[in-house]
Structure 1
Amino acid sequence: MATNQEEVQLLGVVGSPFVCRVQIALKLKGVEYKFLEENLANKSDLLLKYNPVHKKVPVFVHNEKPIAESLVIVEYIDQTWNNNPILPSDPYQRALARFWSKFIDDKVVGAASKSVFTVDEKEREKNVQETLEGLQFLENEIKEKKFFGGEEIGLADIAGSFVAFWIPIVQEIAGLQLFTSEKFPNLYKWSQEFINHPVVKEVLPPREPLFTFFKARYETLTASK
């Protein structure tokens, strides 16, 4: 375990679902780290140095070696600190966890964001449909399980934090019914288990400031129609 805080740094912004994934992984592992708050409107030299390709957060720095992309970082953390495994040891189960994590990023995160933050009605409708289809696949996958990997939080659950915590906020702002307990009972039950897990609960950003931030962004967007 890392004892020296300088060994482990996380460049991020509070409220980012991708940064939050890394924070959940670090908390699960009990790793101490230094959080460096970034201003994405005025990116630091450190961020540009450590992530010159995407210039985005999160960036995880371990012994001055930087790693970008949230799911890649989570896997690195899992392999570096062996306690409380995030990925299963069975190769097939591990492959499934990676598949569903990538599915969430490819088919749900972008579409759900565009369902809210898109002015064009046709485009919005297309993204709403895509989000609902993606959520239905996740509903069918989770079935009666507590978490995607079984009894403990794993990679797909951490990737799905966007579904559990961020979608309910943005759909409320836009007056959409994307993710509800009626449409997706199994997935909704999972989301409650997940956000109320002691580790996750401690790491999730406060809901109210996040709601205010997205509401202002949504109102600016709709005002420009």
Structure 2
Amino acid sequence: MAEEVVLYGVWESAFSRRVEMALKLKGVEYKYMEEDLNSKSPSLLKYNPIHKKIPVLLHNGKPIVESQVILEYIDETWQGYPILPKDPYERAIARFWAKFIDEKCLPTIFKACYGEEKEREKAAKENYEVLKFLEEELKEKRFFGGENIGMVDIVANIIAFWVGVIEESSGAKLLTRDKFPKLSSWSHEFVSNGVIKECLPPRDKLLANFRNRFGQTNSSK
């Protein structure tokens, strides 16, 4: 009996795109269901009744929610390409940095670009500090996962691809090569990877979407 793997996502979401990246790296066949978050489908509400959000991975009728939880589930369920390290300590470190990106980096990125004018400058300084931690964590590695793309790289997809769109739509400058040479090189290599490239949304469409939703907040800069 063939496995049934269904992903409920939104084309512009870095979170559902993460799941696609993991599935494709593992070579897992899946069906993709595009959601409209303004008019959520009965299936989404059924499978994620608590948060009512994407992504939701449905595996043989069983739903898994929250992108980082889904990434770990994919890694533990399917053999082949490793997303998390085998060593328990290294796994813990990868989980730490993945959590750091979602809880520390993402809020400051959006505040620095789209927050109230008075809080943008403070958020930009905070953003510099958190990105500096990631810059230092890369050390001389090709990816956060070493020679291969891993959990932290996948979670950091928003920094590698979405940040450039966010900067262009807001007029802010967060990830410059002079301040973050390692992160900049990592971003370029990550989005140039064939599998990752397949999972990225059309940049022009994403930029238009951000401009439509947020406007050009800092366009005078």
TM-score bracket for this pair, using the shorter chain length: over 0.9
Distance between the aligned counterparts of 1:210 and 1:76, measured in 2?
28
Corresponding position of 2:26: 29
Corresponding position of 1:129: 125
Contact 2:10/2:35 (<8 A) preserved: yes
Distance between the aligned counterparts of 2:159 and 2:216, measured in 1?
24
Distance between the aligned counterparts of 1:221 and 1:146, measured in 2?
34
Corresponding position of 1:180: 176
CA drift of 1:3 comes to 4.7
Task: Spell out the pairing of 1:5-44 with structure 2 (5 A cutoff).
Answer: 7-44=4-41
Matched, 1:101 2:78: no
Matched, 1:191 2:187: yes
Distance between the aligned counterparts of 1:126 and 1:63, measured in 2?
47
CA drift of 1:10 comes to 0.5
Task: Spell out the pairing of 1:8-87 with structure 2 (5 A cutoff).
Answer: 8-87=5-84
**Unaligned 5+ residue runs, structure 2?**
none
Aligned to 2:215, the other structure's residue is in SS state helix
Contact 2:169/2:216 (<8 A) preserved: no
Corresponding position of 1:203: 199
CA drift of 1:126 comes to 2.4
- The residue identity in structure 2 corresponding to 1:131 is N
Aligned to 1:39, the other structure's residue is in SS state coil
Equivalent in 199, 212, 221 of residue 216 of structure 1? 212
Distance between the aligned counterparts of 2:57 and 2:149, measured in 1?
21
Distance between the aligned counterparts of 2:172 and 2:216, measured in 1?
18
TM-score by length of 1: 0.93
* Per-residue CA distance 1:161-181 (angstroms, 9 max, x = gap): 010000111111111110111
User: Structure 1's 30 and 3: CA in aligned 2 closer, same or farther, altered over 3 A?
Assistant: farther
Corresponding position of 1:139: 135
Across the two proteins, how many residue pairs are aligned to each other?
219
Contact 1:116/1:218 (<8 A) preserved: no
Distance between the aligned counterparts of 2:192 and 2:148, measured in 1?
13
CA drift of 1:220 comes to 8.0
Task: Spell out the pairing of 1:104-115 with structure 2 (5 A cutoff).
Answer: 104-115=101-112
Equivalent in 156, 161, 176 of residue 157 of structure 2? 161
Alignment RMSD (CA, Å): 1.6
Contact 2:113/2:217 (<8 A) preserved: no
Contact 1:59/1:68 (<8 A) preserved: yes
* Per-residue CA distance 1:112-131 (angstroms, 9 max, x = gap): 1222222x212222222222
Q: Which range moved further: 128-137 or 187-196?
A: 128-137
**Unaligned 5+ residue runs, structure 1?**
none
TM-score by length of 2: 0.95
CA drift of 1:221 comes to 6.8
% identical equivalent positions: 55
Distance between the aligned counterparts of 2:216 and 2:81, measured in 1?
43
CA drift of 1:218 comes to 2.2
